[in-house]
Structure 1
Amino acid sequence: MLLPFILFLIASSHSVTGQVEGDRFPQNFGYVEVRQGAHMFWWLYFTLANVEHYTERPLIVWLQGGPGGSSTAVGNFQILGPLDEDFNERNYTWVKDFNVLFVDNPVGTGFSYVEDLNLLTTTNDEIALDFLNLMRGFYEVHPEFEGVPLYIYGQSYGGKMAIDMGIRIHEAEQNGTIGSNLRGVAMGNAWISPVDATLTWGPLLLAAGLVDQTGYDNIQAAAREAERLFNEGQYWNSTAQWRQTQQAVFNATYNVDFYDILTKMPWPRPTTMDLDSYEFIRDMMIRDGSYMTSRNLASFMNDVIRPKLNISNHVVWGQQSGAVFNTLNVDFMKPVTEGIEKLLNETNIILTKYNGNLDLICSTPGQILWVDRLKWHGAENYKNAERKPIWENDRLEGYYQAYENFRFFWINVAGHSVPRDNPAGTRAFLRDMTTFG
C-alpha cells in the first residue's frame, strides 16, 4: 500500500503546516483564495484501502449543513472521519474505502474566512462558484486526483448546496476548465425543498404521538403561513416565519430533538438562558446534528485542533458562521428541485437521495413530496419501480427505489446524520453509487 505522508503545499495567499495523528492517517490541508479576500479551508484524508496508490479509490467531498456548519469539525470528528473528538479511531470511517475531502463551506464557515463580511455568499449559485474555484485550487495542489471519480455528499443544507455545485462542476468539465471527474451527487437528509419539509413536521409529530391535535394545529398554521409568504415572494419573511414554526414545534413537544425525534431532551432548554429564540435556532442549524454545543465545539476546534494544524491565531474557527447563516436568509427557503431536474435530464451523474427515518428537520415525508413532483424523463418509471429492502448482515436496514441515475434510500433507525447513526445502512448507498464500501 503506497500511502506516504504528504507535506502541505498550498496555492493560496497563505499556508499552514501540521498534522493530526498524521502518522496513522495520512492527510493534507490548506486554503484556497476563491475570490480576493475570500479564503476556503479544505482537509483531505488519503484512503487507508489496501491499494498500490490512493488514486485507485474515488475522492468523496463531504459538505456539512447549516448553512455555516463545519465539515472539518462535525463531519470529520463526529460523523465519518477517521478519529472522534477524543482521537479514538472510528471503525466505520469512510477513509477505509475512500479519499475524503472535508470542506468548510460556504466561505466564512469553520476555518474558512472572509476579510470583509460583504464577501459572504448570498445565493446557492454563488456558493457553487466558490466551490468550483476551491476545487480548481485543490487540483493544483493534488493534480494526481484529476480524472479520479469524484462524488459530492452533502448533509442537510450541504445537500442543497451540492446540487448547484454539481451543475457548475459539470459545466466546467464540459468546458475543459477543470480536470475533475464528477460521477455522483448525494443528498443526505437534505434541505432541498424547505416548504415541503416544514409542512410535514406536524403530520410526522402527530403520527408519532409527540403532539396532540392542538399542538398539530398550531404547528400547521405556522407552517402554512411560511408557505404563503414564500409563494408571495416574501422570502426573508418566509424564513422568519419558518423560525416561528420551529418555535411552535418546541412549544408543542417540550423540546423535541429536530435531528432525532426519539432523543430525550432536557426542559427547559438550558442553552436558551442567554440566547433569544432566533439565536438558539440559528445555533441549532449551524451545529447540523452535532451533539456538542457551539461553545464546546468552538473550544475543541480553536484550542485543540487549530494548534495541531498550525493555523494562524487570526483565524478563529466558527467566528463568522453566524454571519454566514444570516446572509443566506433570503435564499434559505428557496428549493433546488429545478437543478435536480437539470442534472437528471442533461447529465449521466448519479443522484442519490438518502434519509434517516427519525429526522424531523428534513423529514422523509417532506422529501417524498418533492421527489414525486420531479419533471424528468424517468419520472414515471421511477414511481413504478419496485421498492426493495436493504439487507446488511441479515438485518433490515432500510429500503431503496431506483431508476436510471436517480435513487432514494430510506434508512432505518437513523436521524439526521445517517452515516453516524446507521453505518450498515450507509454502506448500501455508498456501494450503489461508487461500487466500494
Structure 2
Amino acid sequence: MTRFVLLCLLALISTAAAKGKGFGPGEQDYGYADVRDGAHMFWWLFHTTANVTNSSERPLMMWLQGGPGASSCGYGNFEILGPLDLNLEPRESTWVKDFNVLFVDNPVGSGYSYVDRLSSLTTDNKQIARDLVSLMKSFYEKLPQFKTTPFYVYGQSYGGKMAIEFARMLYDEVAQGNIQSNISGVAMGNSWISPVDSTLSWGPLLYEMSLVDEGGLEAINRQANYTKQVFDQGQFAQSTSEWARTQNVVFQKTDGVDFYNVINKVERGFLRSGRTIMEKAFDVQTITKHYSSRADSLDTLMNGPVKEALGIPSNVRWGSQSNSVFNYLNVDFMKPVTSVVESLLNETNINVHVYNGNVDLICSTPGQMVWINKLKSEATTIFQTALRRTIWVNNTMEGYEKHGGKFALFWINVAGHSAPIENTAATRHILKSMTGF
C-alpha cells in the first residue's frame, strides 16, 4: 500500500469518526429510540463541561419543549439553554456548564422525531409519558453510567404538563423494578397545568396592565367563561377550539399583544400573516419584529448543517412546531394534570418546583396561583404559611421564592414565557435550589 493511499484511508476513517461527534463543542451523544412500533423519538445529550472526572458526577437534566409539537433539540437548545445560540456563538448562560443536558424532541412527530404513519402520533398525556419512559430505557442502555445520577425533568409550557406525567410514571416504573433511574425532581416552567385557569386569567391580567379597557375585559371574560362552560360539559375538543377563539378576542382587543411577553413590542401586521390562531398562540418563537428571520434561521440551521452532522434520515424534515402533533392532542389539550401534581407530592419523594415569568400571558402567574392554591398535600399546606423570600442576585431583585418542603414556587421578574433565557440570573438560582449545584 502506498503512503498516499494510506494517508487517504486514514483521512476517510477520521472523517467518518468525526461524524459521530455531534454538532458544536463538547462531548455529545444522540440517537433514536423506537418507543413504539412506527414511533421514533430523537434525543440529544450534551455532557457537562464542568471540571469533573466523569460527566455522570453532575446531575442529568431533561428539557421538554411545549407546543405540543415544538422541538427541544431546536428551540430549547439553540434559543434557550444549549451551548451555542442561534448565531452559533457560545452561550454564557448555558446549563451545560454545570449539568448534563438531555434534549428530547417529544412527542413523536416533533422536531427530528417521526412516525411511520400518522396513527402512531400520541393522543393523550399518558401515552406521551409512556413513550418517554421507553426512551429512558433505551437511553440508560446506551449510557448506563447515568442510571444512578440524579435526574431532573424540566418542562416549559405544554412541556410542563408532559413532564409532570412522565415523572410520575417513571417513579412508578422504578418502584416496580422495570427501570433503574434516580429520578429526583421535576420543574414546571410557565406551564400548561390547568388550562382553564390560565385562560380565565387573561382578561383580568390584561386589564390590570392597562392593555385592554373595560369593554375588552368584558369581551375576553365572556369568551373565556364560555370555554370553561364547554369544558365542564365534557366537550373537550370544542373547548380547545373555544380556547383558540378566546385568543382571537385577545388579539383583537389588544391589537396583537405578544402572548409570551406582554411588554414586548409587536410588529404591525402579525395577525395578517396567514397563520392560524393556534399556530400563532403556541408557536415556539417569541413574537418580535425579528420573528420571521429568527424562525427562518432556525429552520435553515436544523435542516442543514445540524441534520447532516447528526445523521438524521433524509426523509425527516425538522419543524419548529408540528401541527399534526397538536391536532392529534386536541381532545386532551385542555385537560388539567393537577391531580398528578398532587400524587407526586403525596406519594413520592420527588421535589416539585414551579417557576413563572411575570410578564407571560399564555401561562400567566395569576393562572398558576389558582391551581396551586387548590392543591391538597402536606407540602402545599406548609407552603401556604411559609415566608416568601426575595431572590437577590448581585444586589438586583430577580424575583421571589416560597418553599413548602418538597414543593417550591419561584416568581421570576422581567421574564415572559421563556423565563430561563429572559432572566438567566434567577434561573441559576432556581437550578441551584433544585440540585444543590
Shift of 1:305: 1.6
Partner of 1:134: 135
The alpha carbon displacement at 1:102 in A equals 0.2
Which residue number corresponds to residue 246 of structure 1? 247
* Higher gyration radius (CA): 2
Q: Which residue of 2 aligns with 1:308?
A: 309
Shift of 1:429: 1.0
Given that 2:70 and 2:320 are in contact with CA atoms closer than 8 Å, whether structure 1 keeps it comes out as no
Q: CA deviation at 1:409?
A: 0.2
Aligned to 2:67: 66
| 1:314-335 deviation line (CA, Å, top 9, x unaligned) | 1111298110000000000000
Task: Give the conservation status (yes or no) of the 8 Å contact 2:284–2:321.
Answer: no
Unpaired runs of 5+ residues, structure 1, are 1-6, 8-15
Amino acid across the alignment from 1:422: N
Aligned to 1:281: 278
1:267-416 → structure 2 map (5 Å cutoff): 267-269=268-270, 272-275=272-275, 279-287=276-284, 289=286, 292-293=291-292, 294-318=295-319, 321-416=322-417
Once the 2 structures are TM-superposed, how far is the Cα of residue 41 of structure 1 from its aligned partner?
0.2
Shift in Å, 1:39? 0.1
Give the fraction of aligned pairs with identical amino acids, expressed as a percent: 50
Which residue number in structure 1 is paired with residue 7 of structure 2?
A: none
* Cα 1:235/1:326, change in 2 over 3 Å: same
Deviation of 1:58 (Å): 0.3
Change (3 A) 1:290 1:139: farther
Which stretch shows the higher mean deviation, 355-364 or 174-183? Answer: 174-183
Q: SS at 1:200's partner residue?
A: helix
Cα 1:344–1:119 change in 2 (3 A) is: same
| Deviation sequence 1:52-92 (CA, Å, 0-9, x none) | 11111000000000000100011000000000111100001
Distance in 2, matches of 1:33 and 1:126, equals 14
Contact 1:186 1:352 in 2 (8 A): yes
Is 295-304 or 387-396 further displaced after alignment? 295-304
Correspondence for 1:3: none
Residue aligning to 2:434: 433
Is the aligned partner of 1:183 residue 2:184?
yes
Distance 1:319 1:118, change over 3 A: farther
2-structure distance, mates of 1:179, 1:75: 26
1:197 touches 1:363 (CA, 8 Å); kept in 2?
yes
Please give the secondary structure, in 2, of the residue aligned with 1:287: coil
Counterpart in the other structure of 1:84: 85
- The answer to whether residue 98 in structure 2 is matched with residue 75 in structure 1 is no
Which one is further off, 362-371 or 174-183?
Answer: 174-183
Contact 2:164 2:341 in 1 (8 A): yes
Secondary structure of the 2:309 match is helix
1:240–1:64 distance in 2 versus 1, CA, 3 Å = same
In the TM superposition, what is the alpha-carbon distance from 1:427 to its structure 2 partner? 1.1
For 1:73 and 1:185, the matched residues in 2 are separated by: 22
Query: What's the CA shift for 1:28?
Result: 1.2
Greater shift, 261-270 or 38-47, is seen at: 261-270
Counterpart amino acid of 1:246?
A: Q
Deviation at residue 287 of structure 1 after TM alignment: 1.5
Residue 300 of structure 1 deviates from its aligned partner by 2.5
Provide the rounded CA distance (Å) in 1 between the counterparts of 2:335 and 2:362.
Answer: 16
Residue 201 (structure 1) aligned with residue 202 (structure 2) = yes
* Alignment coverage as a number of residue pairs: 416
Equivalent position of 1:19 in the other structure? 22
Q: How does 1:6-45 map to 2 (within 5 A)?
A: 17-21=20-24, 24-45=25-46
**Change beyond 3 A, Cα 1:429–1:319:** closer
- Counterpart AA for 2:309: K
The equivalences for 1:226-241 within 5 A come to 226-241=227-242
Offset of residue 274 of structure 1: 3.0
Q: What is the distance in 2 between the residues matched to 1:298 and 1:285?
A: 17
Task: Tell me the SS of whatever aligns to 2:400.
Answer: strand
Amino acid at match of 1:124: N
Please give the alpha-carbon distance, in whole angstroms, between the structure 2 residues aligned to 1:19 and 1:168: 30
Report how far residue 26 of structure 1 moved: 1.2
**Conserved 8 A contact 2:392-2:399:** yes
Q: Which residue of 2 aligns with 1:53?
A: 54
Task: Sort the Cα spacing of 1:290 and 1:136 in 2 relative to 1 into closer, same or farther, 3 A.
Answer: farther
Give the SS at the match of 2:391: strand
Give the conservation status (yes or no) of the 8 Å contact 1:389–1:396: yes
- On the 8 A contact 1:108/1:320 being kept in 2, the answer is no
Q: Shift of residue 280 of structure 1?
A: 4.0
The aligned residue for residue 154 of structure 1 is 155
Amino acid at match of 2:317: V
Contact 1:67–1:286 (CA<8 Å) still a contact in 2? no
Check whether the contact 1:156–1:288 (CA below 8 A) recurs between aligned residues.
Answer: no
Q: Which amino acid aligns with 1:125?
A: K
Shift in Å, 1:282: 2.2
Where 2:63 maps in the other structure, the secondary structure is strand
